[in-house]
Structure 1
Amino acid sequence: MKPRILFSVSSLGLGHATRTLSIIEVYMLTHDVHIVSSGNALTFLRYELGSDATFYDLEDYPPLQRGSGWRHYAYLAIDLTRTVFVIRKEHAFIAELVDRIRPICVVSDGRYGSYVSDVPSFLIVHQVSFAMPKGLGVFRGVIDRLNRMAFDNFDALFIPDYADPIDNLAGMLSHHPMLEHLEHHYVGILSSFRKRERTRDIDVLFSTGGFLANHKPGLAELLIEQAKKIRGKKVFVLGDANGGTRHIADDPTIEIIPLVSGDARHELFNRASFIVTRGGYTTIMDLVELGIRALLIPTSGQTEQEYLAMHLSMQNRFLAISGEDVNLEEGQFLQPLRSFDPAWKTELSVKRIIEIVEQATVPQFFSIVIPAHNEEAYIGETLRALSALQYPRDRFEVIVIDNGSTDQTLEFSQKVIGENGRVYVSERGVSKAKNFGLKQVSGQSDWTIFLDADTHIGPNLLQEMNRYLFKNRRRNISVGTTRVTPLENSSLKARAWFAFYNWGHKLTKTSFAIQFMRSSLRDKVRFDEEIHFAEDMKFISDLRKYGAFCYIDTENTLTSTRRFDTVGWLKQFIMWNWEALVLAKTSRRKGEYRAIR
């Protein structure tokens, strides 16, 4: 059975679909591909891929380009508000779909709600920072902060541009200081085109579809009229499905094609010596892929296109004129330009993306060490919860250390333990048991989790941890914990106390019920066997000398409230603080820990 992969593709411009197609086509050879999209993008992908992929139609965001004058800003406010709700709906849909099909990862192009917590999620984006509409520049800082919050939901950004701060295509759109705090990769251009050896028998190709009908319907006729002044063969592609191919009666050098797609479009672009087109970013990548000179006419009001046209014309990479003031002259097409010759193009860009995805989707190995003393009432359910983990069985192990039990903890553990688990007996003492467990950890282990015997982990915890630890690998994490929720007692009081405890442990970099460490440090840091309570505090402190502490916010760690229910919530809080902050620093730390069973 092929592994599944999920793509979520924006329909706000066909470019999202065409550039993502270059990645999808490679994955089609080895994976079961699932695609979420809508509108023209969904129609295009269905046409290109047929029944070899599974498709889902999901509402996209409003285009944010309605109206003119003051109406434009009114519509913008309305559409931005609607976008927030659509993103939430999208995220819920993607979460449900991922839970159902279990893909190795999610690759989103322009859809900000297409991520989940337990599966690697990537975002293809060239607009890290938006080109702001006239009069709204004062809000750039706010919008950039909102963008960063959205980007933080993804494991990494795939930016279809080049890292050089000067020699790039998207300028400030794809190069922004916020990237210092985000995992990102400049993967290079992504184009559905491939360069073919063809005779350049079209002197000028006018690709005028899409934006003209909605924004300036008379521009096509104006360009056709002005093209008569230009020598050579001219071909117009209008993007109009209702017309028929024809030649201008009084100028046989002009051919008009209403609509072209697929291989025929590739052929036309490869035959062109010069192209007149809009300034969409995907179109620009297509031009670079083919190495064709071009004149960009950005759509009026499309701030991204207007910025790109200005940026690239100032670098003398392409020519650019305003859509409001079109006047073609023969000499324009003869102006010298500096060709953009990147170190690599689409084929290698796709390989770079696949390599990054492969690194993110290789499951890290987890060793789960459970010290158990007289835990016959809980150990069975704890081990059954581990057997339900949605994680490859060959990428985690369970190690139970029975330390001085006088009940049937050992027998129950041996009976319930799975094929990837082992049960050992050690001397009594939680620190001794944990150190003994560390000695049994597999040599291939990446992370060791210490789990209390009355603590259950949900089916997706290891996936969440795997994703989090890969995403934050540059932080050099050495130790951490997770959020913990009450297991038996779901009262408001229990939830409030646990919320308080979680806040405290996150703030003070401490833990209860669960801790994890980088397994490679097991020969450098051990539990102090003289400590019989709050032993994790010194252990975590020692591990922090080798790297950062982390706190994973999850719903998948639940621990028993038996101690709180027996002793009392406030009294237990006072006792723990007294033990951790005072007794643990005195000779009394060697005293017996009060076991409540």
Structure 2
Amino acid sequence: MNATNKKIIIAPLNWGLGHATRCVPIINALLENEFTPIIASDGIALEFLKQEFPNLEYLILPTYNISYHRNLKLGLLLQIPQILKSVRKEKKVIDNFIKANKEVVGIISDNRFGVRSKLVPSVYITHQVNVLSGNTTSLTSYFHQKIIKKFDECWVPDNENSQFSGKLSSTKRNLNGKFIGVLSRFKKEVLKQEIDVLVILSGPEPNRTFLENKLISEFKNNSRNIVFVLGKVESEQKIWTSENIIFYNYLLSDELQKIMNSSKIVVCRSGYSSIMDLAVLQKKVFLIPTENQYEQLYLADFLEENRFAPFSNIANFSKEKISEIENYKGLKVAENRLNSQLFSLFQRK
């Protein structure tokens, strides 16, 4: 088979934009190593990657349709039948696609349980080997690790010492795990710091909108230069100004990289993909974890404890709190290039 005809299915979970954005450097690395990525997802994750890579082939997968519930554990418990149904459907879609496309030599799934196949080597990407859920953490971690074991390899986007993911990625179980380094679509640039505060919103609704409304009310009538990127992927990009704030509905990677590099301070969720991006860009950041989401609460607490960044919950946030950033060292990591040896798994006959 011709090297350039070797296709890899890459499938991020549609849960906010984090899973999709961290697949960008993997897609670029696949292209550099003469593989042809097939992007498989649904919703805004798929829409985002279509705009980033307009020339690639796409495969629409069944949606998991996960929604937030005030009680996250109860909410997820109630949605398990729907999730399992979607997992079975996507597994069928993937197998049918591989049978019809003999050029497919591998699968990379970012937290999509059913995107795997016995027909080709399958990789699972996660920084949450352990799934925090309060007093049911051991149970949720056990089931997640059981899913991970169904894949040939598990790639953890962090450095060997779990520098940014902490106990989320630490385990003594053999899960064929590989730490692949910090994943970010961005590169550090030395630009003039023209933006005083950059607010980046992300994540599923309605929490994204709650945070948007809270932060707009905090920052309006502020003398500083404030920019909001709303994280709303729509059919066309928009920019507008209201009082002292410049708004973008969303930005593609190149534009967002420039704006982030031009910012003194970033305010955002403590989602893991955001943390990796900010570390590569070596930014000072103030974090606001999503309520009732154990992973984000843990990450915010972990980064504060290690003096990387302060955080606040949404109810207690005020623009004055941002000054706490001065007492923290900020996020910083060397730029990571994926080792081409990672893809040797897909060279199997």
Q: Same fold (TM over 0.5)?
A: yes
Q: Radius of gyration: which is bigger?
A: 1
Q: Is residue 38 of structure 2 the alignment partner of residue 48 of structure 1?
A: no
Cα pair distance change 1:230/1:63, threshold 3 Å: same
Shift of 1:20: 0.5
Secondary structure class of the residue paired with 1:104: strand
2:343 corresponds in structure 1 to 357
Q: Is residue 149 of structure 2 the alignment partner of residue 158 of structure 1?
A: no
Q: Is the 8 A contact 1:230 1:329 kept in 2?
A: no
2:195 corresponds in structure 1 to 202
Q: Is residue 149 of structure 2 the alignment partner of residue 145 of structure 1?
A: no
Q: Deviations over 1:201-222 (max 9, x none)?
A: 11111123555x6127454344
Q: Is residue 283 of structure 2 the alignment partner of residue 292 of structure 1?
A: yes
Correspondences of 1:508-519 after superposition (within 5 Å): none
Which structure 1 segments of 5+ residues have no match? 249-253, 364-390, 392-597
> In structure 2, what residue type is equivalent to 1:82?
Q
Equivalents in 2 of 1:230, 1:44: separation in Å? 32
Higher normalized contact order (CA 8 Å, seq sep 6+, divided by chain length): 2
Q: Is the 8 A contact 1:65 1:301 kept in 2?
A: no
> In structure 2, what residue type is equivalent to 1:362?
Q
Q: Is residue 23 of structure 2 the alignment partner of residue 28 of structure 1?
A: no
Equivalents in 1 of 2:124, 2:213: separation in Å? 39
Q: Is residue 61 of structure 2 the alignment partner of residue 38 of structure 1?
A: no
Equivalents in 1 of 2:154, 2:202: separation in Å? 30
Shift of 1:328: 2.5
Q: Is the 8 A contact 1:275 1:295 kept in 2?
A: yes
Q: Is residue 78 of structure 2 the alignment partner of residue 92 of structure 1?
A: no
Q: Is the 8 A contact 2:9 2:37 kept in 1?
A: yes
Cα pair distance change 1:201/1:59, threshold 3 Å: same
1:188 corresponds in structure 2 to 181
Cα pair distance change 1:44/1:38, threshold 3 Å: same
> In structure 2, what residue type is equivalent to 1:113?
G
2:250 corresponds in structure 1 to 260
Equivalents in 1 of 2:221, 2:303: separation in Å? 26
Q: Deviations over 1:495-527 (max 9, x none)?
A: xxxxxxxxxxxxxxxxxxxxxxxxxxxxxxxxx
Equivalents in 1 of 2:8, 2:203: separation in Å? 30
> In structure 2, what residue type is equivalent to 1:23?
I
Aligned residues: 340
Equivalents in 1 of 2:210, 2:143: separation in Å? 38
Q: Is residue 310 of structure 2 the alignment partner of residue 319 of structure 1?
A: yes
Cα pair distance change 1:126/1:227, threshold 3 Å: same
Correspondences of 1:116-515 after superposition (within 5 Å): 116-132=117-133, 134=134, 137=135, 139-164=136-161, 168-178=163-173, 181-210=174-203, 214-215=206-207, 217=209, 219-227=211-219, 232-239=224-231, 245-248=240-243, 254-262=244-252, 263-329=254-320, 332-342=323-333, 344-346=334-336, 348=337, 350=338, 352=339, 354-358=340-344, 360-363=345-348, 391=349
Shift of 1:265: 1.7
1:438 corresponds in structure 2 to none
Secondary structure class of the residue paired with 1:246: strand
Equivalents in 1 of 2:210, 2:15: separation in Å? 23
Equivalents in 2 of 1:280, 1:19: separation in Å? 11
Shift of 1:332: 2.1
Identity %: 26
> In structure 1, what residue type is equivalent to 2:76?
L
Cα pair distance change 1:77/1:210, threshold 3 Å: closer
Q: Is the 8 A contact 1:195 1:289 kept in 2?
A: yes
Instruction: Quote the RMSD (CA, aligned, Å).
Output: 2.4
Q: Is the 8 A contact 1:229 1:329 kept in 2?
A: no
Q: TM-score, normalised by structure 1?
A: 0.53
Secondary structure class of the residue paired with 1:335: helix
Which structure 2 segments of 5+ residues have no match? none
Q: Is residue 39 of structure 2 the alignment partner of residue 61 of structure 1?
A: no
Equivalents in 2 of 1:110, 1:163: separation in Å? 20
Shift of 1:83: 1.5
Secondary structure class of the residue paired with 1:147: helix
Equivalents in 2 of 1:224, 1:123: separation in Å? 38
